[in-house]
Structures are given as C-alpha cells and as structure tokens.
Amino acid sequence: MKGGNYNRFRGRHLSVTLITLIFTTIILWVSEKNPSITTLLTGQDQFTWPSSVCNYAKGQWVADSRRPLYSGFGCKQWLSEMWACRLTQRLDFSYEGYRWLPNNCEMPEFERSAFLRRMQDKTIAFIGDSLGRQQFQSLMCMATGGEMSPEVEDVGKEYGLVKARGAKRPDGWAFRFPNTNTTILYYWSSTLADLVPINSTDPRSNVAMHLDRPPAFMRKYLHRFDVLVLNTGHHWNRGKLTANRWVMYVNGKPNDDSKLVSMGGAKNFTAYSISKWLDSQLPYLPRLKAFFRTISPRHFRNGDWNTGGSCDNTTPLTEGREVLQDQSSDEVVEGAVKGTRIKLLDITAISDLRDEGHISHYSVRATGGINDCLHWCLPGIPDTWNELLAAQI
Ligand SMILES: *[C@@H]1O[C@H](CO)[C@@H](O)[C@H](O)[C@H]1NC(C)=O
Ligand SMILES: *[C@@H]1O[C@H](CO)[C@@H](O)[C@H](O)[C@H]1NC(C)=O
Ligand SMILES: *[C@@H]1O[C@H](CO)[C@@H](O)[C@H](O)[C@H]1NC(C)=O
C-alpha cells in the first residue's frame, strides 16, 4: 500500500521531470539558434555580454582615409567652439586620419543610421566630467554625421536639465532623435559623488560631497537608461575641491577616515562605491548596459596647466601605434569594476599614444600661454571611444 503510493507518486514525479527536461532542452536549443525567442519565452529583454572575451584595448592605430566620421566645420550644432580645432588656428589635422583596430575583437565600421536603428527607443547616458562631455558631443556629431539636424529635439527638461538662475549653463543636456526615438544625454558629475549644499538657503555655503552616494541625478534616472557610461579622474585635486567648497563626507558625516584624506584614496573609494551600488541595481534593470570609462590621459610636458606645461607635437604616433598590455593603465577603474556586471571601457593606453590630438595652444580663446593638453580636438580621439562603445552594446 505504502509502496504503491510511493511508486505512483514517483511515476508522476518522473514524468513531470521528464517533460520539464524536454521543454528546457527545446528552449535552450531554440534560444541558441535565435536569441529573440528566449526574449519571447522569458518575457524579458535580458542581455548577455558577447561570450567571446576579447580585449578591445589591445590593438593598433591604423591610417584610414575614411576618417574623420564627421566634419569639424560642420558639426557646429553640437561641438563646443573651444574643442572644434578646425575652427582654431591649428593647421595640421593629420590626427583626424586614424582608426583603432583591435587585435582580437570584431569592430564593425561605425555607420550612423545602423547605430540609431540599433538604439531604437533607447537612452544613452554619459555621466562624468568634461571628458565625458567631450564623448557626448562626439557621439552627437557621429550620430548626425555632423550635419545640421533641426529635427533633433532638446528634451533636457524631461531630465531636469535646465539652466538654473545665475548659472552659466545647465548641469547637462539631453537630445532625442525623433525617427528612432533615441535619446543621448550627458550629466556633469566630475567626481561621481553626490553633492548637497550644507545650507541650501545660503548659496555661499559649503557643499557636502558624499563619496559613498551616487549623484542624485543618477539615482533618479538610472531606470530610464539603456546604456550608461561613467567617468571621473581629473577633478580629484585639492585645488578644485577647495575652489568649489566641496567637503568630503562619508556615512553622512564629514570624513574622518585618514585613508580617504589623500585625493588618490578618496577617488579610489568613490570609484569602488559607485561601482558597488550600480552593480547592486543591475539585476533589477536587465536592459541596462553599464560601462565605466577609464581615465583619459593628459600630455602636459615640462609643467602643468598653471606652470606653462605644453604639448606641441603634431606628428601622429611618435610614441608608437600599438597597445599590447593585458591590464588597463587605469588600475583604479579596472579594480572598481572587477567582479561586477559593469564593463570596463578601457581607452587609457589607446589614447596615451595620441598626444598630438589635444587642443594644445590653438585655443580660440588664445590667451597667451594657455595650453590644453587634457581635452581633445573634435573630431578626434573621443570618436574612437564611442566606436569602442558602439561595438560593445
Ligand atoms: C520612446 O522610447 C521610450 C523608451 O525609451 C518609450 O517609453 C516610449 O514609449 C517611446 N516613444 C514612442 C513614441 O515610441
Ligand atoms: C543658512 O543660511 C542662511 C542665510 O545665510 C542663514 O540665515 C541660516 O542661519 C543658515 N542656517 C544654518 C543652519 O546655518
Ligand atoms: C582601492 O580600494 C579598494 C577597495 O577598498 C582596495 O582594495 C584597493 O587596494 C584600492 N586601490 C588603490 C589603488 O588605492
């Protein structure tokens, strides 16, 4: 009696198991052939990174007559004048004629209409410092081909990106391509820390810079992003913090951790904090592909911004054309995303070979002696960062 019950139960159990097994096998088999069927079956637009693990940062620069991807004269709608080297006194533009060729990864030619179709109904967000803004402007030029595009809509208001009273500019910009409903936006957060005035009614009060809390903008809008690119790096110096009256906070209190008093320690702590937080959100946001871009290298020689440092080379690739190393040159960002679902957008060593691509001393504001060996001419090196991004989304 007992045995019979048991056997009957086991029989039913076995057939359920068998059916489940067969069904699972079919799903697995079908989804391998056609991933979109998985989407239908699971009801989720879940993404997985390409299974082939290749390092886009290893490869070489090659001359390419099809570069640049847009005209530096044409892309007036999106390029800041100070970064459009074609509009300055610079006469040598050989830096525009190269493309990055990874050794072991597929990197399809960037084609703007195909890119926008792929980004149908999607939002691409850049959050970071002025180098992030360069990457944003570059992508706007790449996506429009550098042509006047009156149809592209300013949707900054949707994201609260409006110029505050008395401010020089808004904290960011957002534009939408109506044909594909693709939104590209940028938010200025130079340290990726949350900034909160200590006394909000006093415009001259200090500002708490919460190292362990992502910017409010990012917390608020993260669920609306399909692609996110973070960056930070060059604002981690005492002078900038003091000038902005930013005071480091950890755990909601002024920082008293001696390890975090050094700029390097605080930057590292913030990069790890934001990566950990973002990684904790990603399981709930299966559409979102998140990247942390590594630091953009500077090329000041014989000094700095303030001490007459310069970068006068105009000949491409005088330091070589290849990157062979496996590790990133930015160990902070590489370490921060290690073991998370955030992808490294490693551009440091690649860009380090391109010292001739900076604004140098050709600024439009040509006030004697100012050299910009930090920002890049556009079109230029940040276009390559976006090609690397486009290949990985
Ligand atoms: C545009 O895309 C968003 C998702 O990013 C979607 O919510 C919205 O409905 C789309 N609008 C149109 C008109 O299809
Ligand atoms: C904040 O600033 C206002 C204006 O300067 C001042 O009246 C007020 O006392 C300040 N509040 C605190 C808590 O310090
Ligand atoms: C950055 O912080 C992490 C986590 O606390 C630590 O393991 C790592 O050694 C730090 N790296 C640097 C370069 O300070």
- Tens-place pLDDT, residues 161-219: 999 888 899 999 999 999 999 999 999 999 999 999 999 999 899 999 999 999 999 99
Do 168 and 276 belong to one domain?
Answer: yes
Above 90 in pLDDT, residue 52?
no
Positive/negative CA dihedral, 329, 333, 335, 337: negative
In 317-360, alpha helices (H): 331-337, 348-352
What is the CA(269)–ligand 3 centre distance, in A?
7
Do 212 and 264 belong to one domain?
Answer: yes
Instruction: Say how many domains are in the chain.
Output: 2
Protein residues with CB under 6 Å of any ligand 3 atom? 268, 272, 331-332, 335
Residue 30 confidence (pLDDT): 45
Do 147 and 282 belong to one domain?
Answer: yes
Confidence of residue 34 (pLDDT cuts 50, 70, 90): very low
Strand 343-345 and strand 289-293: the pairing is parallel
Domain that holds residue 36: 1-53
Residue nearest to atom 14 of ligand 2 (CA): 199
CB 199 near ligand 2, within 6 Å: yes
What is the CA(249)–ligand 2 centre distance, in A?
20
Do 69 and 44 belong to one domain?
Answer: no
Tell me how far apart the alpha carbons of residues 288 and 23 are, in angstroms, rounded to a whole number.
29
Tell me how far apart the alpha carbons of residues 103 and 199 are, in angstroms, rounded to a whole number.
53
What is the CA(200)–ligand 2 centre distance, in A?
8
Above 70 in pLDDT, residue 51?
no
Do 69 and 20 belong to one domain?
Answer: no
Do 143 and 7 belong to one domain?
Answer: no
Do 27 and 118 belong to one domain?
Answer: no
CB 123 near ligand 1, within 6 Å: yes
CB 326 near ligand 1, within 6 Å: no
Closest ligand to 223 CA? 1
Residue 297, SS3? Answer: coil
What is the distance between the terminal CA atoms of the chain, rounded to a whole angstrom?
61
- What is the pTM for the complete model shown? 0.87
CB 121 near ligand 1, within 6 Å: yes
What is the CA(121)–ligand 1 centre distance, in A?
5
